[in-house]
Amino acid sequence: MNLRLAGFTEIYAKEVCSWKYDDIYSIYNYPGWDKVSNEKWGITIEKKRKSEFNAVIDDCNCLCGYIRLLDKNECIFIGIGLKPSLYGQGLGKVLMEIVKQQCKKIYPGKKIALEVRSFNERAIKCYKSAGFNVVDTYRKDTPLGYGEFVRMELPEHSS
């Protein structure tokens, strides 16, 4: 499957809000569009969708995932989402390569960082295989719930 970046439209954002992950991964389920829109989450704000988000689409223009790149001055903080039905197909590696190339293109020379819930071993394994290293573990509250997180960074020579 070939994946490429596209603009992250409101239609794509609404689709992401409808994705449903199973079991322990259900923590990643967005509330409905009305709730996230009323609470002004980044995914609902057009300016942020245009400047921070990219849709990841296939050859048929179907949404497969998304990436979010936040310039935090000291680093580029990335967020990634993959459509639940596509897990286990090796697309994480492809998605991570797209993320690294996009960061290199837009933010050359900047460190890339991410955080992931500590229980999400499949994501951590994917990030490690993409060159990321664990640099910290901590607990925090988020709009999707309280939990333990792992911060990972990509060494600058790896991007």
CATH number for the domain spanning 148: value is 3.40.630.30
88 compared with 15, residue with greater pLDDT: 15
The one-letter code for the residue type at 90 is: G
Cα separation, 38 vs 7, in Å, equals 23
Domain containing residue 18? 4-158
The predicted pLDDT at position 62 comes to 95
Tell me the torsion sign for CA atoms 41, 91, 111, 113: positive
Q: Name the pTM for this structure.
A: 0.90
Quick: pLDDT tens for 107-155.
Answer: 998 999 999 999 999 999 999 999 999 999 999 988 777 889 999 999 8
Cα separation, 51 vs 98, in Å, equals 17
Cα separation, 120 vs 138, in Å, equals 14
Domain count, the chain: 1
